[in-house]
Amino acid sequence: MSDAIKIDIWSDIACPWCYIGKRKLENGIAEYGVDDDAVPVQIEYHSFELSPDTPVDFAGSHEEFLAMKGFPPEQIGPMLERVTGIAASVGLDYDYPNLKHANTVLAHQLIHYAKARGLQLEAKERLLKAYFVEGRQVGTIDGLADLAVELGFDRDDVVRSLRANEYLADVRADQNLAIQYGIQGVPFFVIDGKYGVSGAQDASTFAQVLRQVADERVEVGQ
């Protein structure tokens, strides 16, 4: 049982439940990891755009954006308050008043850039925090290049890559695979290539699935 359990995750930088789900998954992995027979877990993120028609230069508030998307105005405030509370329960301090809406296709390209250099998980975390907690710009080349420097990347090379859409084909490949899987919402987790978990489930749910996968491997002598 030396092979790691692979978890493929489809998510978007601009998805509040994706960041919450990330934390819950991490907590679930930690819960599972205390087992004597725990198997290592490997995570890979895949691109998914919740709102690909979002303009790069949208200057309105989050409430205005949601209203533009068809959410009833009277429901937006309570909804954001609820999401903020759930985020806080897993240690995330969402700052919706300062959130800067962005088209995320370039951010997904940066995550693929980081993946090619062994820092995909770090890039994913940095961009989510920048968007939901720090009110940073994650939709422009300059904004992303600034964040990439914090991860240790060469700014000029990141700018070159994003201007050339170097990893756009990889983003589209992720999205096409999501279509093949029938994924219509995120976060979506595919565990060991056969179990799908949709949404920001509790940590105990992820731990349970990991234990089930590990037990099944023992049964088949893997």
**pLDDT digits over 13-65, tens only?**
999 999 999 999 999 999 999 998 899 999 999 999 999 998 887 888 889 99
Asked if residue 219 has pLDDT above 90, the reply is: no
Report pLDDT digits (tens) over 64-119: 999 988 999 999 999 999 999 999 999 999 999 999 999 999 999 999 999 999 99
Give me the number of domains the chain comprises. 1
**Average pLDDT for 191-205:** 95
Classify the phi-psi angles of 192: left when phi > 0, otherwise alpha if psi is within -120 to 50, otherwise beta. Answer: left
Asked if residue 2 has pLDDT above 60, the reply is: no
Percent of the chain whose predicted confidence (pLDDT) is above 70 = 98
pTM of the model: 0.94
CA 103 remoteness from chain centre: 14
Band (148; pLDDT cuts 50, 70, 90)? very high
Residue 222's pLDDT is what?
52
Q: Which residues pair with 9 in a beta bridge?
A: 45, 189
Residue 39 token pair: 């198997």
Residue 54 token pair: 């979002």
Residue 1's pLDDT is what?
39
Q: Which residues make Cβ contacts (< 8 Å) with residue 111, sequence separation at least 6?
A: 45, 47, 120, 123, 124, 127
Q: Are 132 and 102 in contact (CB under 8 A)?
A: no
Which CATH number does the domain housing residue 81 bear? 3.40.30.10
Whole-number Å distance between alpha carbons of 117 and 157: 12
Residue 221's pLDDT is what?
62
Angle at 100 (CA atoms; ends 96, 101), nearest 5 degrees: 100
Domain range for 120? 5-219
Closest CA to 131 of 86, 107, 85, 100: 100
Residue 59's pLDDT is what?
82
**Average pLDDT for 126-151:** 97
